A = this chain, B = another copy of it.
């Protein structure tokens, strides 16, 4: 498929796909005229990339981790594996942090609800 279809099916912009390729995260075959062509598997690949980006990994980090995805059995994935584990730990810590923030928001919301309830019982507004 060409880049437009891949973009639609993976739910990203064409610009992003070119960027991923520029970062070495996504490969394409080129037709004689220079147009990019992708196999079906590229859709899942891009979705995977999106998920890693969503996890806060940078392009560089994703590039270093990808060998673990593509060839989990090669030695090249030694440092990649460590990177992946440390990224998972970083992500876990980040999640914990966000959970604390959410708890704080929940408390604030509860406090405000109590006040609002008090106000509403006095005068609607």
Query: Interface on A for B, CB 8 Å cutoff?
Result: 48, 51-52, 54-56, 68-69, 72-73, 75, 77-78, 81, 84-85, 87-88, 91-92, 94-95, 97-102, 104-106, 108-109, 111-112, 115-116, 118-119, 125
Contact = CB atoms under 8 A, between A and B. Distances in A.
A75 B123 CA distance: 11
Given A51-B104, A81-B116, A88-B106, 17 more contacts: A54-B98, A55-B98, A55-B101, A55-B102, A56-B98, A68-B108, A72-B115, A75-B119, A77-B112, A81-B109, A84-B105, A84-B108, A88-B109, A91-B101, A94-B98, A95-B98, A98-B98
A54 B56 CA distance: 13
